[in-house]
Amino acid sequence: QLRLGISADVPLAVQQWQGIVAVNYPARAFGVKRSDNVREAREKCPNIQFVHVATFTANSPPAYHASPSQNTHKVSLDEYRRASRRIMDVLKRLCPTMRKASIDEAYLDATTLVNEQILRDFDSGRLQLSEAAAGNGVLPLPLVQWTGGSRKGKEREGSMELGVLVGEQIECSSGWDDLQLRYAATFAKHVRDTVFQELGYASSAGIAHTRCLAKIGSGLNKPQQQTVIRQSQVSKFLSQYPITKIPSLGGKLGALLETAFDAQCAGDLTHYTVEQLEIKLGRAQAQHVYDLCRGVDDSPVLENTAPQTLTSAKNLQRNPARNLQALDRWISMNATDLWMRVMDEWEARRRWPQSLMVAYTPENRAMRTRTVGFPSRQQQQQQGAGVVADAARACLQRVAGEAGTFPVVGVMLTAKTFRKELAAAGLMERWLAKKKTPDGGKKDEGEEARELDFEDEDDEEYQPQIEPPAAVE
């Protein structure tokens, strides 16, 4: 919508071949779902617009082609990854304690930011405190105002400028827990407004004292709204909330809970003790279910770790490659896709892979893998994606003659074993090269000390302070 300037009121879906990978809310109003194919979506919503994801070929970079074919094109999600990265950068800037949950979702722990603001307002006398004296040196409870103007004049139950209240509809409450949520709601609105103003993306949010409840709240009043789940309302709210909609209680576990305990809502499970749940679930899982059904969740918001691998794959089940020549086109495209992702990783974290795993799946056989060294960054800078394709080709050429290799119904390239490189590493290499003696590179005095390996240094702030000779440019 942003790229093409399409109105937010127009039903729109993102198409990948004949399937749908994203649906906007106007289209959802007609019953269109991501599980629909293009034909089914058009039957439900005749006016829907489709935009195909970007694709590329062996001879063309990623672009939005008018009629891409599965037999000649490969999907590129780079544009979505870059958009996600821009959003996450804004969230990280506003709230350092952040964890990306998916391409369009993140958890923000605003506890420290909220508590600091509450302390500042308390010190300046801006908090409203109840008149009743608490005694024994205990502070009186703060008064919390929840009401405010409705968003864009649209009224809904519990709607206010800072979000939708779950459960009891009140104008004012008291207590430090509620005060934290009130400040967190203000912060969430600021975050959402900033994302919209800087990037143009609308968003929803859930505000609660736990990750699980915040996740649930974020989906209750989409689109473009935020939901506050006060601690005093958790028990009543969850009592009627479907078990399978609670994060981590869906799928096979949710089905087991429904059948084994004749339960549909979280409240149905609160009648069981941990010991009773343990009979069917085991100790650890029983405690997990017991806690979540009561809104108890102490899981912290931990920062994402850097990816251990980057992968590009192509499913060839519809049109298997019967020889190395037929497979070569997909090797080139997967190599280009992987190269772009590796370069993005380098730009973002200054990490470079050391290994390239080439995987291929012969028809009616298990996947086979081979691992070779990943081309150096210097090779990549000079030759681009072609050097990755060449490494993969060389690997496959060695197995092409083996019995049962072809036809191939799937191929995958994976960059592995990432190491952080320092900005000064290349300069050091050139300096050391120039310091070799004329007799064939024999070490001079003290050279052993200069062979320190800084490549595995994890501290991003660390930079070796080395002054190169004037001869080094």
Q: What's residue 255's pLDDT?
A: 95
Pairing state between β 172-174 and 143-145: antiparallel
> Looking at the predicted structure, is the pLDDT value of residue 434 above 80?
no
Bridge partner residues of 415 (DSSP)? 310, 356
What is the predicted pLDDT for the residue at 463? 32
Q: How far is CA 87 from the centre of its chain?
A: 10
Instruction: Please say if the pLDDT value at position 453 is more than 90.
Output: no
> Residue 465's pLDDT band (boundaries 50, 70, 90)?
very low
**What is the rounded CA–CA span in Å between residue 418 and residue 355?**
8
pLDDT, tens digit, 9 for 90 and up, residues 343-398: 989 988 899 999 999 999 999 999 999 999 999 988 877 778 889 999 999 999 98
pLDDT in tens, 195-250: 999 999 999 999 999 999 999 999 999 888 999 999 999 999 999 999 999 999 99
Q: 57: which 2 tokens? A: 């070929």
* pLDDT at residue 467 in the model: 33
Mean pLDDT across the chain, nearest whole number?
A: 85
pLDDT of residue 67: 87
- pLDDT cut 70: percent of the chain above it: 85
Residues 6+ apart with CB under 8 A from 117: 183
C-beta separation of 457 from 420 below 8 A: yes
Tell the burial category of 85 from Cβ atoms under 10 Å away from its Cβ (0-12, 13-18, 19+): middle
What residues contact residue 195 under an 8 Å CB cut-off, 6+ apart? Answer: 87, 90, 91, 201, 203
Q: CA-to-CA distance for 262 and 244, rounded, in angstroms?
A: 13
Task: Determine the residue type at 372.
Answer: V
Residue 306 pLDDT exceeds 80: yes
Of the candidates 390, 389, 414, 393, the residue with the CA atom closest to the CA atom of residue 335? 389
For residue range 33-70, list pLDDT tens digits in order: 998 999 999 999 999 999 999 998 877 888 998 889 88
For 305, the enclosing helix (H) or strand (E) is none
Residue 430, helix vs strand vs coil: helix
The pLDDT score that the predictor gives to residue 136 is 62
First and final C-alpha spacing in the chain: 48
How confident is residue 340, by pLDDT bands cut at 50, 70 and 90? confident
Task: State the Cα–Cα distance between residues 4 and 221, nearest whole angstrom.
Answer: 27
Residue showing tokens 């609105």: 189
The Cβ of residue 305 has, within 10 Å, a number of other Cβ atoms equal to 6
**Is the pLDDT at 81 greater than 90, yes or no?**
no
CB distance 307 to 287 below 8 Å: no
| Residue 303 pLDDT exceeds 50 | yes
Beta-bridge partners for 265? 242
pLDDT, average across residues 271-285: 94
Region of residue 24 (left: phi > 0; alpha: psi -120 to 50; beta: else): beta
